[in-house]
Amino acid sequence: MEVVKNKQVVLKWFVVGAPTEKDMEVREGTAQLKAPEGSGGLVVKNLYLSCDPYMRGRMREDYSSYIPPFQPGNAIEGFGVAKVLDSDNPNFSVGDYVAGFTGWEEYTLITRTESLRKVKKNDIPLSFHVGLLGMPGFTAYAGFYEVCAPKKGDAVFVSAASGAVGQLVGQLAKLHGCYVVGSAGSKQKVQLLKDKLGFDEAFNYKEETDLTTTLQRYFPDGIDIYFDNVGGAMLDAALLNMKVHGRVAVCGMVSQHSYTDSEGIHNTFALVRKRIRMEGFLQSDYLHLFPKFVETVSNHYREGKIIYLEDIAEGLENAPSAFVGLFSGKNVGKQVVCVSKE
Amino acid sequence: MEVVKNKQVVLKWFVVGAPTEKDMEVREGTAQLKAPEGSGGLVVKNLYLSCDPYMRGRMREDYSSYIPPFQPGNAIEGFGVAKVLDSDNPNFSVGDYVAGFTGWEEYTLITRTESLRKVKKNDIPLSFHVGLLGMPGFTAYAGFYEVCAPKKGDAVFVSAASGAVGQLVGQLAKLHGCYVVGSAGSKQKVQLLKDKLGFDEAFNYKEETDLTTTLQRYFPDGIDIYFDNVGGAMLDAALLNMKVHGRVAVCGMVSQHSYTDSEGIHNTFALVRKRIRMEGFLQSDYLHLFPKFVETVSNHYREGKIIYLEDIAEGLENAPSAFVGLFSGKNVGKQVVCVSKE
């Protein structure tokens, strides 16, 4: 049985507060390249790994979440794109490319194969299967169409708009005939939103002193839809700027990083005055729409109607800093780690 | 033209903070008992006036609300039940009883008659037309059936549960086959909830030290529906106790009393985790359902399936203290002012 070296990114302990690189360790382990008989599993070579904000939630010791915590000492688990090296499962063959839950390491034995779907190596970059065509893209799709109830001409605001989810929300909204404004945290991102991603307007929230008046400026008649990726002060400002019967889709990964939002939301009275519907959602509740999503978004991409910005860190050893960077907005576009191109 | 003395309750100035009796004045004015020809108006004798928390919102100088502010120096406007003394309007005759917007005074010339509906003096107390069969009752009805999406067996929590709205929400929920728990602010109210209003459980929130664990105790499997009449710390505690796909109907009059909730809501992350829908509403968006509401709730009342608790202050001179008492929970049941029985 062939045993090889296997570089791994391991969570060292449960994390309190903002995650740092010190909470993770890159270590040299070993891997067997054969799937045990009867296991129904696969041995895969990991190609692309996804850095997602929700993973912060799995770094705390809390069994009440919708997904169990990571186990300190083990390789971190996350979405990835991988190539099958050995298979004990009739649904997968050697040489298949798969996307789904895998480990932050070079080689992974995947025994829980339910999350895996086969993907093709074609004109769509493989890495897109953890971004545009993966969980973040599907979050944008399900959130926008199923939660926001969009209508042509609606005024749409997207926060963290150049991120993995936000950039697709904005582009889908434009294709739907909406007026779309995005917020981001740097001049460069604002330029990308306007020049590359087709947003009608964009602003750098770090340069604004009063978010309520900022939003008034971009939405003099109010906001129909706020796709909330950040919570906190931006959500509070948006509530004051919603139109009557406005909708707020709370994707709000950032709000999940700590247990309580110490700043708090203070404008909930606007919910009544303006009859606002504010709804939290998870893409996993809409998986029946996944095939339609892949088809629709792939077609848009092939027709040049949407683009997708990625920020690719090269090599597993850079995975901890890439992940930590999410929380200070270091990434420009979807943060991916390339473990190996093939 | 007959001119009579007309006792009036006048707002003295725009109010900052919690309203006090000093913000209002009871004065002796005059009234003409004839509706001017061509005015299309009515002169009414006011019988019952409604004290409602939303009126606090009209005591501030703010034109952005869904309803314009009161005019200092004029009689306060509010829902009432009145008898027509003179009519220049073909739709109303002398001797008719009407419910709708009128003045806090003995006699009112009503020229904007759109809000008025004729009511009958029968086995249902006249005062119920500003309570059980008026705006508060309809708020309960529209909020429960249209916003909460109730199902048989749902676990329902109602705050301010013995109040004008809450007491009907709880009873409708029981009739719908739900498990219903209410919170209130005194031992007496808690007893009424359990003994008279048929709630499964009730608690005095003032006796609880940690609302989150209190709600855990009453809802070990979580809350399907929270009908929120108070906002603030109770809403925060409820968010932590909602079930997946729970619904929060924000009626939240109390949240409207000041512009910003200084305490804030800190558990919005639960919206995502539990995919909670939180929706503000106003009964005025559902007026097409009003006839069905009156029929349904009148029938329930006549069949003895629901009751309605009123707290009636006698005389206009007691209206200011009755209104102010709403905000400290002095009232037990729907607060009404009886100006005259006939």
Chain B residues whose CB is inside 8 A of the A242 CB are: none
Q: Which amino acid is at B160?
A: A
Q: Where in chain A is the domain with CATH 3.40.50.720?
A: 135-284
Q: Please give the C-alpha separations between residue A183 and each of A51, A151, B173, in angstroms, as whole numbers.
A: 21, 21, 42
- pLDDT value, residue B17: 84
In this prediction, residues B91-96 reach a mean pLDDT of 98
Which tokens go with A123?
């004109």
**How far is residue B244's CA from residue B26's CA, in Å, rounded to a whole number?**
51
Pairing of strands A242-250, A277-280: parallel
Which tokens go with A199?
């947003």
Of the partner residues A266, A272, A281, the one whose CB lies closest to the CB of residue B250 = A272
In this prediction, residues B187-208 reach a mean pLDDT of 98
Interface residue B256 vs chain A (CB under 8 A): yes
pLDDT in tens, B246-261: 999 999 755 445 555 6
Q: Where in chain B is the domain with CATH 3.90.180.10?
A: 3-131+309-338
Interface residue B290 vs chain A (CB under 8 A): no
CA distance A122 to chain B (A): 35
- A242 C-beta neighbours (distance < 10 Å), count: 29
In this prediction, residues A235-251 reach a mean pLDDT of 97
Contact B260, A267 (CB under 8 A): yes
pLDDT in tens, B213-232: 999 999 999 999 999 999 98
- Classify burial at B198, counting beta carbons within 10 Å of its beta carbon; exposed 0-12, middle 13-18, buried 19 or more: middle
Indicate which of B221, B272, B283 best probes the interface with A, i.e. most A CBs within 10 Å of its own CB: B272
In this prediction, residues B173-188 reach a mean pLDDT of 98
**How far is residue B294's CA from residue B304's CA, in Å, rounded to a whole number?**
15
Quick one: which H or E segment has residue A137? helix A135-142
Contact B272, B111 (CB under 8 A): no
**How far is residue B161's CA from residue B234's CA, in Å, rounded to a whole number?**
13
- pLDDT value, residue B255: 43
Indicate which of B54, B239, B271, B287 best probes the interface with A, i.e. most A CBs within 10 Å of its own CB: B271
Interface residue A271 vs chain B (CB under 8 A): yes
A77's CB contacts (< 8 A; 6+ apart) are: A58, A70, A101, A102, A103, A104
Share of chain B above pLDDT 90, in %: 88
CATH code of domain B135-284: 3.40.50.720
Q: To which residue do tokens 């944008």 refer?
A: A140
Chain A residues whose CB is inside 8 A of the B252 CB are: 268-269, 271-272
Of the partner residues A231, A262, A271, the one whose CB lies closest to the CB of residue B280 = A271
Contact A109, A46 (CB under 8 A): no
Share of chain A above pLDDT 90, in %: 88
CA distance B57 to chain A (A): 10
pLDDT in tens, A256-289: 455 556 778 999 889 998 999 999 999 999 999 9
CATH code of domain B3-131+309-338: 3.90.180.10
**How far is residue A90's CA from residue A94's CA, in Å, rounded to a whole number?**
11
Q: Where in chain A is the domain with CATH 3.90.180.10?
A: 3-131+310-338
Q: Please give the C-alpha separations between residue A102 and each of A93, A108, A113, A122, in angstroms, as whole numbers.
A: 17, 7, 9, 22
Task: Output the average pLDDT for chain B.
Answer: 94
**How far is residue B75's CA from residue B26's CA, in Å, rounded to a whole number?**
9
Q: How far apart are the first and last CA of chain B?
A: 23
Burial B326-342 (b: 16+ CB within 10 A, else e): bbebebbbbbbbbbeee
pLDDT in tens, A89-118: 999 999 999 999 999 999 999 999 999 999
The answer to whether the Cβ–Cβ distance between A269 and B285 falls below 8 Å is no
- pLDDT value, residue B337: 98
Share of chain B above pLDDT 70, in %: 95
Contact A212, A233 (CB under 8 A): no
- pLDDT value, residue A259: 52
Given a cut of 90, is residue A65 above it in pLDDT?
no
Ordered DSSP codes for A299-312:
HHHHTTS----EEE
- pLDDT value, residue A2: 82
Length of chain B: 342
- pLDDT value, residue A255: 43
A311's CB contacts (< 8 A; 6+ apart) are: A322, A331, A332, A333, A334, A335, A336
pLDDT in tens, B35-85: 999 999 999 999 999 999 989 889 988 766 677 899 999 999 999 999 999
**How far is residue B145's CA from residue A122's CA, in Å, rounded to a whole number?**
51
Chain A residues whose CB is inside 8 A of the B256 CB are: 269, 272-273
B328's CB contacts (< 8 A; 6+ apart) are: none
B262's CB contacts (< 8 A; 6+ apart) are: A266
Distance of CA B50 to the CA centre of its chain: 8
Task: Output the average pLDDT for chain A.
Answer: 94
- pLDDT value, residue B342: 86
**How far is residue B186's CA from residue B172's CA, in Å, rounded to a whole number?**
23
Interface residue B266 vs chain A (CB under 8 A): yes
Q: How far apart are the first and last CA of chain A?
A: 23
The DSSP 8-state label assigned to residue B265 in this structure reads B
- Classify burial at B304, counting beta carbons within 10 Å of its beta carbon; exposed 0-12, middle 13-18, buried 19 or more: exposed
- pLDDT value, residue B65: 67
In this prediction, residues B275-281 reach a mean pLDDT of 97
In this prediction, residues A53-75 reach a mean pLDDT of 86
3-state secondary structure of B331: coil
In this prediction, residues B291-301 reach a mean pLDDT of 97
CA distance B278 to chain A (A): 5
Reported as a pLDDT band with limits 50, 70 and 90, residue A64 is low
Q: Which amino acid is at B283?
A: Q
- pLDDT value, residue B63: 64
- Partners of A304 in the β-ladder: none
Q: Which amino acid is at B284?
A: S
Contact B109, B43 (CB under 8 A): yes
- pLDDT value, residue A260: 57
Interface residue A122 vs chain B (CB under 8 A): no
The answer to whether the Cβ–Cβ distance between B274 and A251 falls below 8 Å is no
- pLDDT value, residue A261: 64
- pLDDT value, residue A324: 96
**How far is residue B19's CA from residue A2's CA, in Å, rounded to a whole number?**
79
Interface residue A273 vs chain B (CB under 8 A): yes
Fold type of domain A3-131+310-338: Quinone Oxidoreductase; Chain A, domain 1 (3.90.180)
Pairing of strands A24-32, A117-119: unpaired
Q: Cite the DSSP H helix spans in chain B.
A: 135-142, 166-175, 187-195, 211-218, 232-241, 269-273, 290-302, 319-325
**How far is residue B149's CA from residue B143's CA, in Å, rounded to a whole number?**
9
Q: To which residue do tokens 């000093």 refer?
A: B22
Of the partner residues B255, B266, B275, the one whose CB lies closest to the CB of residue A262 = B266
- pLDDT value, residue A258: 53
Nearest to A224 by CA among A240, A243, A239, A211: A243
Q: Please give the C-alpha separations between residue B35 and each of A286, B46, B229, in angstroms, as whole numbers.
A: 61, 15, 39
Indicate which of A271, A286, A287 best probes the interface with B, i.e. most B CBs within 10 Å of its own CB: A271
pLDDT in tens, B80-89: 999 999 999 9
The complex scores an ipTM of 0.90
